[in-house]
Amino acid sequence: MVNGNGVPEKVAWVLIRADRVLVTRSHGRDRFYFPGGHRELGESDAETLVREIDEELQATIDPGSMVHFGTFEIGEGHPDHGPFRMICDTADHRGELTPSREIAEKAWFRYADRDRVSAVDAMAFDALREAARLS
């Protein structure tokens, strides 16, 4: 889904455990991404995150625990793709993190793995490190 300015947006989940952050890789892709996805028409960020994490990792997000971590954007003409905006939230969850059929694998990355994620995800990795949440 795109915002009012025509910029594609993704709502992403930032889950940190033991100085590592959860990322996923879709089938047919080399890069890893924060789990989440695009809003469907009329969805809020919370509704999007709940739906996407259920679809991708078969876990239930607690929307009441969501905290906005940051919004990251790459502009027009970026070599990877652009423009694109990623809205990142932390949140508690219930259930095991079990990849669904659309997810080839999940992984727990340290900051040193930053080169294995997309450009916009790398921006979030930098912010996590700057906030002393990832080393």
Which contacts qualify for 127-134: CB closer than 8 Å, 24 or more apart? 127/69, 127/70, 127/72, 128/14, 128/16, 128/21, 128/69, 133/16, 134/16, 134/19, 134/20, 134/21, 134/110
| Arithmetic mean of pLDDT, 92-109 | 96
Q: What is the mean pLDDT of residues 85-106?
A: 96
Q: What pLDDT digit, counting tens, does each position of 47-94 carry?
A: 999 999 999 999 999 999 999 999 999 887 666 667 889 999 999 999
pLDDT for 79 equals 62
- Amino acid identity of residue 43, one-letter, is E
Q: What pLDDT score was predicted for residue 106?
A: 97
Sequence-distant (≥ 6) Cβ neighbours of residue 28 within 8 angstroms: 104
The pLDDT, as a whole number, for residue 7 is 84
Q: What is the rounded CA–CA span in Å between residue 75 and residue 124? A: 15
75, 76, 91 from 80: Cα distances, Å: 10, 10, 28
Over residues 10-59, the pLDDT tens digits come to 999 999 999 999 999 999 999 999 999 999 999 999 999 999 999 999 99
Give residue-wise pLDDT tens across range 106-122: 999 999 999 999 999 99
Report how far residue 62's alpha carbon sits from residue 84's, in angstroms, rounded to the nearest whole number. Answer: 26
pLDDT band at 1 (very low <50, low <70, confident <90, very high): low
Sequence-ordered list of residues with C-beta below 8 angstroms from that of 54, at least 6 positions apart, any chain: 60, 61
Residue 78 has a pLDDT of: 61
